[in-house]
Each structure stands twice: as structure tokens, then as C-alpha cells.
């Protein structure tokens, strides 16, 4: 039964990210060994340790699933699998390095390109966001729902200030409370739990940044698309996404009115 399978996978993900999150929590503030994979793209020994633990727990329990992780070499065998584990061992590594409690451990299962189970865990604040397809979304086991705010003016958006204030917008954005978090998944989870009304990112992202938050937001009653309104699909040969917007339905429509026709570089 797919529903039972999705719930079982969600519960497995919750267990795994909590277990692996303990590794990150223990290392938080200890200045672990750090280097750059590429310019402006840091990684720490803790990222790798968390990845190893998630691999042990998740593929150990689901050996027939594919695997896609930020900290693992991409294995094209995943493209032959219907169900794929999509992992970001530490989303928001820069925050982790700077001792800011804004990073998360993220895991999801996609089935034929769509997320069906997800968990996002902030080990410092002890916030566990989770969802299974058709079963709703939770924060620490309690149901959550996106906000019903419909007007942009006065709303709370997670977005980079230089994006929202860029002079190239055809029409300037109204006055809003604008904030940001290092972890993209955390931003999406905060929208799912109505702590913010919307989130927008117009820079290229990887699938592992988005997939868990996608399901959690949608199961909380929200919408998740690209800036043009296109649906997002996962386990693609090149696991990149051009942009992401998430919000409650009315707020999402209000944002798309401003973004759907812009041309991103």
C-alpha cells in the first residue's frame, strides 16, 4: 500500500535525521575542519560524518532505493530507480561554520520524480518538520498549516534583501517584513508552519535543497513552484532547479503575478 509505505519512509527519515543530527549538534561551535569544494561552497568534516550516518541508516533500511546526496558522488544508477533518497546532510553549512542555529539535516524520498516522504531537522532548536504524501505535515508531531495571509503588503517573506530590492523589478515590492535563513529547507519549513508567509529564491538550487521542503509545504496546504509557476520534479539527470517560490495559495498567486514573466540570467 503506497500510503503505508510513505508513512513508513517518513518515520524512517525522522529517525535518521534525528540520529545524524546529534553528530552535527555535538560538533556545533567546535570549529570542525573546513575546506571549499568550489569557490564559495564550503564543506566541513561534520557534513561528511552526517552523510555517512544517513547513508548507513537509510540505505541500510531501504537497499533498493536510489541515492542522491550533496556529499556523495552522483551515481547514475539512481535514474533507474522509482524511489530515491534525496539528502542534504547539512543544509546551511555556512551558518553551521559561523555558529548560527540556522542549519538543518534534510532527507526525502521521491517516487517517480515527486516527493512522498520528508523530514527536516534543526538539531540546535530541536525542530522536527515531517510529512508523508496525503497525511499532512507536522512540527514536532503536531499538525501545521501555512498562513492564510493574502496581501503582500505587511506580510513576512524569507528572501535575500538584494533580490527583493533589486532595481530591475518592473514594480517595486510593497513594505514587508523581510528576513532570511541560511538553510533553504529551513526557510520552506518556516513557511509550512506559518512562522513566515512566503519564501522566494531566484538563484539556482540543487534538488536536495528543495525536495523535503516541497512536500512539507504542500502537505501544510501551501504551493511550491518555480518563479514561472512550473511544478518541480526531482531525480533529474542534472539535479538542479532554477528557482523556487512557496507560500499559501493566495500569497503564492500574488507573488507569481510579479515573477512569472521575469527573465533570470
Please, which pLDDT band fits residue 61 given cuts at 50, 70 and 90? very high
pLDDT at 58 over 70: yes
User: Class assignment of domain 156-259?
Assistant: alpha beta
pLDDT in tens, 106-135: 999 999 999 999 999 999 999 999 999 999
pTM of the model: 0.97
- What sign has the CA pseudo-torsion 148, 150, 156, 161? positive
pLDDT at residue 1, as a whole number: 57
Which stretches of the chain are DSSP H helices?
2-27, 45-61, 93-97, 161-164, 184-192, 207-219, 249-259
Asked whether this chain's domains 2-141 and 156-259 adopt the same fold, the reply is no
Which one, of 221, 60, 81, 64, lies nearest residue 149 by Cα? Answer: 221
pLDDT in tens, 205-223: 999 999 999 999 999 999 9
User: Class assignment of domain 2-141?
Assistant: alpha beta
pLDDT at residue 264, as a whole number: 85
Domain boundaries, the chain: 2-141, 156-259
pLDDT in tens, 22-57: 999 999 999 999 999 888 889 999 999 999 999 999
User: What is the grid cell recorded at 76?
Assistant: 547514475
- What sign has the CA pseudo-torsion 16, 74, 183, 221? negative
Amino acid at each position: 500500500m503506497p500510503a503505508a509505505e510513505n508513512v513508513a519512509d517518513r518515520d524512517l527519515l525522522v529517525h535518521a535525521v534525528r540520529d545524524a543530527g546529534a553528530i552535527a549538534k555535538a560538533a556545533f561551535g567546535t570549529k570542525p575542519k573546513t575546506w571549499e569544494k568550489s569557490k564559495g561552497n564550503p564543506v566541513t568534516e561534520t557534513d561528511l560524518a552526517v552523510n555517512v550516518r544517513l547513508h548507513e541508516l537509510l540505505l541500510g533500511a531501504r537497499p533498493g532505493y536510489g541515492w542522491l546526496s550533496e556529499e556523495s558522488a552522483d551515481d547514475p544508477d539512481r535514474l533507474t530507480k522509482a524511489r530515491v533518497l534525496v539528502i542534504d546532510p547539512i543544509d546551511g553549512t555556512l551558518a553551521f561554520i559561523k555558529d548560527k542555529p540556522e542549519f538543518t539535516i534534510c532527507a526525502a524520498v521521491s517516487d517517480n520524480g515527486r516527493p512522498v516522504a520528508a523530514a527536516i531537522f534543526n538539531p540546535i532548536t530541536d525542530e522536527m518538520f515531517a510529512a508523508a504524501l496525503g497525511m499532512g505535515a507536522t512540527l514536532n508531531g503536531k499538525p501545521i498549516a501555512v498562513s492564510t495571509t493574502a496581501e503582500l503588503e505587511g506580510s513576512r517573506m524569507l528572501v535575500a534583501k538584494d533580490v527583493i530590492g533589486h532595481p530591475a523589478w518592473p514594480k517595486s515590492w510593497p513594505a514587508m517584513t523581510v528576513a532570511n535563513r541560511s538553510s533553504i529547507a529551513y526557510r520552506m519549513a518556516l513557511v509550512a508552519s506559518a512562522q513566515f508567509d512566503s519564501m522566494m529564491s531566484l538563484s539556482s538550487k540543487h534538488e536536495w535543497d528543495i525536495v523535503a521542503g516541497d512536500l512539507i509545504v504542500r502537505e501544510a496546504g501551501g504551493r511550491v513552484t518555480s518563479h514561472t509557476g512550473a511544478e518541480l520534479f526531482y531525480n533529474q539527470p542534472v539535479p538542479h532547479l532554477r528557482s523556487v517560490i512557496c507560500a499559501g495559495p493566495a500569497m503564492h498567486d500574488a507573488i507569481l503575478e510579479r515573477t512569472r514573466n521575469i527573465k533570470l540570467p
